[in-house]
Amino acid sequence: MDPQIASREWKFSVRIMDELILENEIPSFILTLFSIFLYTSGALTMATVPFFTYAVIFKSGQKMSSYRYLLLAYVPFAMLSTIVITSTQPIFLRQVEGFYFIGFINVGRQYLALVTIITIMICDGAVADLLLVILVNRYELVSETIVTRSKYIFRLIYIFLFITWLISLFLWLVFMTHELYPPRINSIGLSITRIYVPYTVFYQLSRLISFFLIVYLNISFRKNITSKAVMKLHGMLTKAVIAHVLCTCILTRFPMLIVLIAVYIQNVFITNVIAECTICCLNVVFLSDMLVTFYHVKPYRIFVLQLFRRFTSTEDYLLSVYKAVLSI
């Protein structure tokens, strides 16, 4: 038999099997609600992105230049994650230990499915580290005029964050794909996967400790700032990033922890439902981050309020014109 025909038949049989398992494990109304939620949240996010990007580029003050650039670096990763989740809509199937996709882009369960999940995880890790970099950068900027330090200290911190993220990404890729390697390479992949769990624990702890430490330094350092304008700006941006990070943690790390607990208790239905709720949370995290930033950063908040006033005034004008036409 032609290998391409055999491959198509195998994929078709896998898809039928997944659909049967999907029908048995998750009620259809939950899948419908899941799909509606992802499409709605994805559409709202994409509709908000242009306003957020415009505010970051044109409404950031001169002293917010580094904050602006880091936020702009964060946007592509968050956008890509939202687009991938909205378009593919991954459903976790506990019975087959894999994902089934019900979005308008169906990527199957082989290499494209793996690329989809890897893309989501890469974006999630990049977003989390960029938020930490923003906090480190805030402390660097406000402390450079008060405390004398070597300029290489913060560069080493940024390099450490970047290299440890790359190592974490490499180990996760090997952990997810080593079964696809040829036998000789697979043995190497297996040996590498043995350090995946301990390194992941180190990686997560390093980020957690770094976050609490840099938040403490940013808050405690405010008393050393003599300029009220600088203190106000620093406080505003620090609060915005802290709220940003907390929002991201609540919508990503906490649901993932619940999924691990559900997997541990080995309840198929609960695991599947909580996994789908986690996907929903991942799809709204970018939208919630933008809304939190709009609220805490005053120039962005003023821009949104002005935009809202213009919209309401235009709406009132059109309504008055409509009433005038009807009265003729």
- Residues 55-66: tens digit of each pLDDT: 999 998 888 888
Nearest-angstrom CA–CA distance, 279 and 259: 11
pLDDT for residue 220 is more than 80: no
pLDDT tens digits, one per residue of 177-219? 767 677 777 777 778 778 877 887 788 788 888 888 888 887 7
Q: What is the DSSP string of 195-255?
A: THHHHHHHHHHHHHHHHHHHHHHHHHGGGG---HHHHHHHHHHHHHHHHHHHHHIIIIIHH
143-164 mean pLDDT: 81
Q: How many CB atoms lie within 10 A of CB 231?
A: 16
Q: What's the sign of the alpha-carbon dihedral 169, 250, 45, 75?
A: negative
Nearest-angstrom CA–CA distance, 119 and 322: 49
> What is the rounded average pLDDT for all residues in the chain?
78
What is the reported pLDDT for 199? 85
Report all structural domains of the chain as residue ranges with CATH numbers, in order of start: 3-296 (1.20.1070.10)
CA angle in degrees (0–180, nearest 5) for 67-71-77: 155
Q: pTM above 0.85?
A: no
Q: Which of 44, 59, 45 is nearest to 304 (CA)?
A: 59
What is the reported pLDDT for 10? 34
Nearest-angstrom CA–CA distance, 240 and 71: 12
